[in-house]
Amino acid sequence: MKFKNCIVAFGAVLTLSAAYPVQAVDQHVAPPEDPSTKTAKNVIFLVPDGFSQSYASSYRLYKEDGLPIWDEKRMLRGGVQTYSADRAITDSAAAATALASGKKTNNGMVGLTPDGKEVTTMVDVAKQHGKRTGLVATSTITHATPAAFATHVQSRNEYLEIANQLVHNENVDLLFGGGRHEFMPSEKGGLRKDGQNLIEKAKESGYGYIETVNDLETWSGDEQRLLGLFADEALQPVLERGQEEPSLAEMTTQAINFLSQEEAGFFLMVEGSQIDWGGHDNDAAYAMTEMAEFDDAVKVAVDFADTNEETLIVIVADHDTGGMAVHATDKAHPSMLHGVKATGGTIASKVKKNFSNLKKVLEDQTNFKWDSSELKRLKKSKDFTLELNRMISEKAGIAWTTTGHTGVDVPLYAYGVGADLFYGTMNNTDVPGKMSEALGISGF
């Protein structure tokens, strides 16, 4: 593939309503000279929530058995600007709305333009062309990223309304994730005060329903739609998940099996939801183990694309979380995080209030050595868990600059049919248009 480097960067200043000036960059790199003319039938869109170039670099150091699949397959295509309609630093709701629909919106809004108009999403466009559609996440399935592909609400926190809209959206065929309680009435132990049992409603509108790993592996119903709610709330972090909840790769495998039965093809969105949560917590072990699970899910998608040969895979984060910096040395290296047995929150919960077992818990749970000055620093900290997470991260050569999101561009990876449509510096609003172009359909 040949690229011409363009010397001049074209820019236009956008003034956002909150007075954060943002430069929207046009393409730095010319398109390939011989773009493929083949059309994809399927798109698998994988979103590592909160991931950026720093995560890519740290994870490469963390991983001990070969390269991440996106490096092995040389999938990197360019960078994506993530700003929202009203902020230089986006949240997941606005970013996912842009990735789903090509429309910028304000932080917090899901599937609506800033003035409240409902957007058309990749799910809608794929369904209009006879394809099956699916959304998979390790958060609740009502969380901002999956929600933006199939619901329209003013606030991402309207989880119960999002659940309602998900079940009633006729363009959706498959939903896998957590959040069972948001679909169930309070009389049955759920969170709904409106008396609705959305799991029953889903069954009435043609969904098969599953909720265990065994269900997921053995389901053989005739239904043309499938709802899988594998936890009452979000799935457990990978570090603490156990056997009773599925991995992202298992959910992705079964989602592809189900969706690929449709002759016209499918659109599948898969989110590694909790990479972002590790970032917010400044918990490097949490973030890296979630990355490993995401890597496995991408591998499932790549294996399918290699045999199917009519599939486009696109990977892009919604934004960076935590402002991670890579400080790896021989003495402090991300691979050392393999010795950490739990998230910082869980480790902290094992420490007695008088700190009498502090050293023992830390040595048991992290495999790092802890000297008296470090223990003192921890005991004096205002936020014990955050300080612990930052210290574990430092011991692994990873530093953080914030517990929020940052505004850095995020890398975009693509593979398979139509991958060469993605190149250079892109905007998050470009992504759905390019995915539908690869499918040979319009809609954005």
Identify which range of 23-31, 101-109, 233-241, 273-281 contacts Zn ion by CB under 5 A: 273-281
- Range in contact with Zn ion (rule: CB under 5 A) among 150-158, 272-280, 350-358, 408-416: 272-280
Choice between 178 and 397, CB closer to Zn ion: 178
Cβ at position 276, least distance to Zn ion in Å: 4
For Zn ion, which stretch binds (CB under 5 A), given 117-125, 135-143, 210-218, 276-284?
Answer: 276-284
Number of helices followed by number of strands (H, E) in the chain: 16, 16
Determine the size of the site formed for Zn ion (CB under 5 A): 1
**If we measure between CA atoms, which residue out of 69, 72, 58, 68 comes closest to residue 336?**
58
Task: State the binding string over 220-259 for Zn ion (x if CB under 5 A, else -).
Answer: ----------------------------------------
143 annotated as ligand-binding: yes
Of 247, 241, 260, nearest to 304 by C-alpha is 260
- Angle at CA of residue 237, ends 385 and 207, nearest 5°: 145
| 319 assigned to a ligand binding site | yes
Q: Does 290 bind Zn ion (CB under 5 A)?
A: no
> Binding to Zn ion (CB under 5 A): which residues in 130-169?
none
Nearer to Zn ion, 397 or 411 (CB): 411
Shortest Cβ 91–Zn ion spacing (Å): 7
What distance lies between CA 184 and its chain's CA centroid? 25
Determine, following the binding rule CB under 5 A, whether residue 182 of this chain makes contact with Zn ion: no
For residue 93, give both structure tokens.
Answer: 């709701």
Question: Roughly what angle, to the nearest 10 degrees, separates helices 384-395 and 358-366?
Answer: 50
Q: How far is the CB of 234 from Zn ion (least distance, A)?
A: 13
Q: Is 372 a catalytic residue?
A: no
Q: How far is CA 262 from CA 21, 134, 222, in A?
A: 45, 12, 13
Judge whether 145 is annotated as a binding position: yes
Q: Which stretch binds Zn ion (CB under 5 A): 166-174, 275-283, 354-362, 412-420?
A: 275-283
- Are 336 and 361 within 8 A, CB to CB? no
Catalytic residue, chosen from 58, 92, 139, 260, is: 92
Strand partners, 292: none
Are 394 and 377 a contacting pair, CB within 8 Å? no
Mutual orientation of helices 372-380 and 358-366 as an angle, nearest 10°?
A: 110
From CA 22, how far away is CA 24, in angstroms rounded?
Answer: 6
CA dihedral 287, 255, 437, 274 (to 10 degrees): -20
Q: Give min distance, CB of 318 to Zn ion, in A.
A: 8
Strand pairing class (76-81; 424-427): parallel
Comparing CB distances to Zn ion, the nearer of 184 and 234 is 234
Position 318 contacts Zn ion (CB under 5 A): no
Instruction: Give the shortest CB-337-to-Zn ion separation in angstroms.
Output: 21
Nearer of residues 139 and 385 to Zn ion, judged by Cβ? 139
- The answer on whether 280 is annotated among ligand-binding residues is yes
Q: For residues 293 and 139, is the Cβ–Cβ distance under 8 A?
A: no
Report the distance separating Cα 287 and Cα 277, nearest Å: 7
Of the pair 276, 281, the CB lying nearest Zn ion is at 276
Chain Cα centroid distance, residue 235:
13
Residue 187 marked ligand-binding: no
**Cβ–Cβ < 8 Å for 173, 134:** yes
Q: Contact letters (x/-) for Zn ion, 395-424, by CB under 5 A? A: ------------------------------
Q: Which of 161, 250, 271, 276 binds Zn ion (CB under 5 A)?
A: 276
| Residue (63 or 143) nearer to Zn ion, CB | 143
Taking CB under 5 A as the binding criterion, the range among 71-79, 203-211, 269-277, 357-365 that sits at the site for Zn ion is: 269-277
Continuous H helices in 129-244: 144-148, 159-168, 198-204, 213-218
The single-letter DSSP state of residue 338 is G
Minimum gap (Å) between residue 287 Cβ and Zn ion:
12
Closest CB to Zn ion belongs to which residue?
A: 276
Q: CB of residue 301 vs Zn ion: minimum separation in angstroms? A: 23
When the beta carbons of 227 and 317 are compared against Zn ion, the nearer one is: 317
According to DSSP H, which parts of 50-191 are helical? 53-62, 69-72, 92-101, 122-128, 144-148, 159-168
- Annotated ligand binding at 252? The verdict is no
Binding residue positions for Mg(2+): 49, 143, 145, 271
Binding residue positions: 49, 143, 145, 271, 276, 280, 318-319, 405
Residues found near Zn ion in the complex (CB under 5 A): 276
Which residues carry out catalysis?
92
Binding residue positions for Zn(2+): 49, 276, 280, 318-319, 405
